[in-house]
Structure 1
């Protein structure tokens, strides 16, 4: 049977772009410096995650799993037994203020009227260790499920990126009351049903409002979130907003990497023209029901009436492929069987629709085919310039040559039967090409078509 395959790369891509200014008069000015506006310390829940011997602490409830992790004490304890140890994987430098940390540990007593416990919660912060013992009124744990709490008084101390934050829970004695069988005390954590956590105040991140970028009448406000959590800050936070002069900026912001942090940029289109002072405020809520982390700064900007922009931001650096949440995807396959010189020919057409950050990254990459100036990821760097000229590259508009080179190199741009296609799908888009499309070796012919649907600019517009 003769077989041919003709996939359509069908990507609904929401992207941003700016047309390059035609002259210097269209580039406005902003008078200010990057300003750290938050946060010296943050009061947050740190959830107990992982095993009892090498667990971790996480500020994200999304890290809680479906399966509850347990440590069981099935016999009376007369000598110290460690329930578990949990540590913060990375520590953000700063000052831990004097405060009281509160540990809430879920437990369950079965086959006994209760359990009398003498336990200690120890918290190491840097070179200092603080501890609290079982409260006098909370040392008897009744049958069933409950929460054992400890209040740990912490003194002000300074921590660095190499400091340790480690929580250890130990039981010195456990005595069961009226055991009726296999009495046991079970400590539970790591799931939504058993969300054991310690609440404390410490530095976790910093928010920096950057000097606005201006092009014509468009102003781009950015916040850099510096932390060791990377894109998890974006995907796991409850909300992240930017306000200018008190008004919430709408639209999808653009995310790029900046050092260890993430830069998020919004577009503001309400400038009055000329010189003016504007107030920018960033608002971040890490946890549902948690406090709003916010900070603000004032900037003197100068804008000009201009049609040079497109209403969205075109980042000079490669955008993130994901904000940690993943991107929408839709796959549609069609099959057609037709006679061919006494045989049957099977034609398979596969359409892949991508949205979100992944789609934005894809279109930005099309405009950087053959770019040897910017620091590109390996998958984008794999594309050679081919017939794309310097004037066409990084023009903030996708030219026919860039479309042609993408289509050609996806099939012939590597020393494999599939060109760059399998590599681009796998490393670039995070898709298993063979699972999605089948083995490339099984097809007689393969073709790829890219259609910008009437919109050449790098803007929020579907790509087929």
Structure 2
């Protein structure tokens, strides 16, 4: 019996050891991993009154719209109609949907009105009760109308429509311009209808492990495609720490997969809790959590989130271009930073991770890097992260040939290289190219920065392009928002002449300091129809440099001041001094604001010329020498003739002769 028990204990212990030390695949508990959004949410009113739209996204509240109804309008007035095409099959329960819209009464103490709201859901129509009494509206506030709906169902691509109208308006103490205005469409006037409807289904899928990286895919199913993510705010927390890197976004017509990348600090893995949250509007927050069992160091889990083929570059990406230049009169040193994210970042990271991949299409730009395939280890290929050898391969390729840099920008990023650099990159001198993938090397949509530094000669007496619209035709299909920050500086002995910008909708700033001259351009949200070109004439003349022009201006003003002083020895100096002062301030202003140098020098030169007529027309001062040389307070008035006589001695008493009547004056 003891031997039997001992054998059972031994077998049980061995089984326990096998369970403990056997590898655990990435898996998740079945509970709390799925969530359908709360039924209650708002559909906001946006757009024009005759072709308005409904949207659940608070981010769409951008433009205020309004309709005014005056006291002269009789009968029923339709304020507007708003519609949305529902992309998913859904059912709704009977209940009360509430329509609300802000209003403002003008030139009247108030207004009494009957409000009607009609809601159409597919083939069903619901209308607010006609038995409701008229409401009295004063000053400003919000009209709320309840609509009772019955159980129903909406099919895919069926429409939900809301129509709002008022009738029987009676104004109290009306004025000549009495009326009531209804507002909607912006965050300040967020008119909406509150409905009960299934909106989005959230599922945290099983985690996927690649080496020491863990990928958490979250599937969002709705009728809004990838906008359910891009039009909302949200994120994932792992062990109560939020993942800051941008996720991978893959979508089709039915769902969007948002995959978050986590690189744990420890290498042991174990039980991991994830909490996902998404918010379409302040009143709607969808949360879901899941428990995963993670084993690091092994490739486990579903990798469907990782594209087998080159991912598309469309899907929403932001592009920021920052250019800093220095001009010395002969050449321009240029530092350009291109920052991108979103789908374009995913495309770059995937391409770097798949150098030499045989599945690349015949038109794929990444086939240009196939020659570097042998320098990349097999374990580094398609491992869902960008390794140093892969990043070095791209940098070497772009630096090795300037035409390759031009090809990458033009074909890969849809950027015209000559427009963004001012010249053809083939004309560059020594070239420096570096790429920064940010804090994470994993396959995601986080920001990538490309740094390009070089210099090129400027041909004298020619117009030199500094920057122009740089997105190629069709490029705005890839870029959702394009921002530009441009700056160029000169030294003391070089400047800009004939600066020109051929688009009045785009602004630039031109400033001169004594030691430098600066041109800057800050432009956000560049549209596809925005064409601009900033250039200057490269004369390289010392006369146009900030230091020499400032010295000439100061010398000319001093010369004008000296001439004015000399010409007004016996005349009033006020007119000429005022004229020189005004022209001096004007010269300083147009010098600092960067107006063309001929205008600056013309104003300065005019101060020298205009001092002559200003001095000539100044009235003559009698005995000007004695008056200007006398000390203030050293004069005495003759009681006989009233002439004021200067007293040049401090001795008292003293007798002096009046210069007017020759009388002897005694001063005690």
User: TM-score of the superposition, structure 1-length normalised?
Assistant: 0.73
Contact 1:369–1:402 (8 Å) recurs in 2: no
Following superposition of structure 1 onto structure 2, how do residues 269-284 of structure 1 map, counting pairs within 5 Å?
269=264, 273=268, 279-284=273-278
For residues 128 and 356 of structure 1, the distance between their equivalents in structure 2, rounded to whole angstroms, comes to 44
What corresponds to 1:161 in structure 2? Answer: 156
- Provide the aligned length of Structure 1 versus Structure 2: 410
Q: If each structure's helix is expressed as a fraction of its own residues, which one has the higher value?
A: 2
Does 2:288 align with 1:292? no
Please give the secondary structure, in 2, of the residue aligned with 1:384: helix
2:397 pairs, out of 405, 408, 413, with 405
Deviations 1:207-253 (A, max 9, x none): 12111112345432221223344454444434333445xx3443324
TM-aligned CA distance change 1:197 to 1:348, over 3 Å = same
More strand by share: 1
1:240-279 aligned at under 5 Å gives the runs 240-243=235-238, 247-260=240-253, 261-267=256-262, 269=264, 273=268, 279=273
Instruction: Report the equivalent of 2:110.
Output: 114
Find the partner of 1:349 among 296, 312, 334.
334
1:456–1:26 distance in 2 versus 1, CA, 3 Å? farther
Compute the displacement of 1:106 (Å).
1.1
332 and 403 in structure 1: CA distance in 2 versus 1, 3 angstrom threshold: same
Change (3 A) 1:361 1:419: closer
State the alpha-carbon separation in 2 of the partners of residues 281 and 109 from structure 1: 47
In the TM superposition, what is the alpha-carbon distance from 1:138 to its structure 2 partner? 5.8
- Bigger Cα Rg: 2
Cα deviation digits, residues 168-189 of structure 1 (max 9, x gap): 1122332323321022222111
Sort the Cα spacing of 1:150 and 1:446 in 2 relative to 1 into closer, same or farther, 3 A: farther
Give the Cα separation in 2 of the matches to 1:403 and 1:129. 62
The yes-or-no answer on 1:362 pairing with 2:356 is: no
Distance in 2 separating the partners of 1:409 and 1:445: 11
Distance 1:217 1:458 in 2: 12
Q: Secondary structure at the match of 2:395?
A: helix
Q: Distance in 2 between matches of 1:454 and 1:265?
A: 16
**Contact 1:216–1:303 (CA<8 Å) still a contact in 2?**
no
Distance 1:207 1:453, change over 3 A: closer
Partner residue in 1 for 2:598: none
Alignment equivalent of 1:44, drawn from 41, 44, 47: 41
Instruction: Map Cα deviations across residues 121-158 of structure 1 (whole Å, 9 max, x no partner).
Output: 0111122111214784662222x222111111222222
Give SS of 1:162's match.
coil
2:422 counterpart residue number: 438
> 1:133, 1:75 → 2: CA distance?
25
Mapped to 2, the partners of 1:444 and 1:406 lie a distance apart of: 15
Instruction: Report matched runs for 1:222-237 at 5 Å.
Output: 222-237=217-232
For 2:395 and 2:257, locate their aligned partners in 1 and report how far apart those are by CA, in whole Å. Answer: 30
Is the contact made by 2:203 and 2:219 (CA closer than 8 Å) also made in structure 1?
yes
| Structure 2 length-normalised TM | 0.53
Q: Give the C-alpha shift of residue 349 in structure 1.
A: 1.6
State the secondary structure of the residue aligned to 2:127: strand
SS at match of 1:48: strand
SS at match of 2:245: coil
- Cα shift at 1:401: 3.5
Greater RCO (Cα-Cα under 8 Å, separation 6 or more): 1
